[in-house]
Amino acid sequence: MKVHIKYYAKYRDTIGKREEDLEVEEMTVKSLLDLLRGKYPSLGGDKTSLLALNNKFQRDETKLSDGDTVSVFPPVSGG
Amino acid sequence: MVMDRYLSQIAVKEIFPAGQKVIESSSIVVVGVGGIGSAVAEMLVRMGIKNITIVDDDLIENSNLNRQAMFKESDIGLKKVDVARAELLRIDEEISINVIDQKLSFYNAEDILSQADIIMDGTDNYNARNVLNVVSFNLKKPWIFSAVEGTYGYVKAIIPGRTSCLSCFGYPDKGEGISCTIQGVIPSAVRAIASIAVTTAVKVLLEKEMTGDLLYLDVWKPSLEIMSIPRNDSCKVCGERRL
Ligand SMILES: [Zn+2]
């Protein structure tokens, strides 16, 4: 199935793209994040990346569906 | 003189008619008087907040002056809370202002936050936000999470018992993070995030913000995203099924 991934904030620079479509097996939000960390080491540097599925934050075990949009945000700490 | 100060904001239908009274009778605590915190404190006092506590143990440095409201060259080396106090009193001499020259920690947070109607996050690290998140939940006090770096940032209202909290979506609960001076931040992003934080706080005080959505703003692109964050039953801070 196909999922649409959108990258935000510093990930746009470190990964070098704003969005992409990925062909993936059936998987959970957590396993998608693991897959992306393997593909893009710069994501792995953050212990916590925030993932929204169709503009709603989802728990790790939520299963992806064909056509889902997944948004990936880094944690931000400055003030 | 003060009577007509608020006419223009009272004319805004979202505030009129009762909102101004609510603002003026609310107690606010601003934790961290850096980029976001100094702008938030200044805006809220200008809008009519009469009872404010500011918390910070830092001194003013030259590297703060590109983005931190109220501080000037002649203030370098002075305590942020002392200068902020004097500046806020110059804006409105009738405010009651309480200054805490300390870092927020689990040792002092309950005392500092217990009188607040709302708490503003001007901190710059994960440890302090974790203290805010846990203690605000225990005290049932709403707080406004705000964070910024580069050209972007986040704002979210956290209302215990009603919205998700910071821990519900896995925001890191420990670490210093990377300081703005090293990480880089554009001053206009700081002000934009501070403005949204102030607006969100006013909405919470007027009971017009109940969602706790996470707002992401990038001032450079520019773009704005709003994501809903459901409450997490298993959240270790606020979850109903937490262990
Ligand atoms: Zn929670």
Q: In total, how many domains does chain A have?
A: 1
This prediction's pTM: 0.95
Residue A68 inside a domain? The answer is yes
Residue A78 inside a domain? The answer is no
**Chain B residues whose beta carbon lies within 8 Å of the beta carbon of residue A77:** 124-126, 129, 147, 149, 172, 175-178
Q: Any idea which fold B2-227 has? A: Rossmann fold (3.40.50)
Residue carrying structure tokens 């001053």: B187
Residue A62 inside a domain? The answer is yes
Give the residue numbers spanning the domain of A29.
Answer: 2-73
Residue A79 inside a domain? The answer is no
For A30, A37, B151, B152, B175, the CA distances from A78, given in Å and listed in that order, are 26, 24, 11, 10, 12
SS3 of chain A: the string is: CEEEEEECCCHHHHHCCCEEEEECCCCEHHHHHHHHHHHCHHHHCCCCCEEEECCEECCCCCECCCCCEEEEECCCCCC
B122 and A CB contact within 8 Å: yes
Give the Å distance between the CA of A31 and the centre of ligand 1: 22
> What's the CATH code of the domain at A8?
3.10.20.30
Residue carrying structure tokens 């506590």: B53
- pLDDT in 10s for each residue of chain B, 243 residues: 556 999 999 999 999 878 999 999 999 999 999 999 999 999 999 999 999 999 999 999 999 999 999 999 999 999 999 999 999 999 999 999 999 999 999 999 999 999 999 999 999 999 999 999 999 999 999 999 999 999 999 999 999 999 999 999 889 898 887 777 677 999 999 999 999 999 999 999 999 988 999 999 999 999 999 999 999 998 999 998 876
**Chain B residues whose beta carbon lies within 8 Å of the beta carbon of residue A56:** 227-230
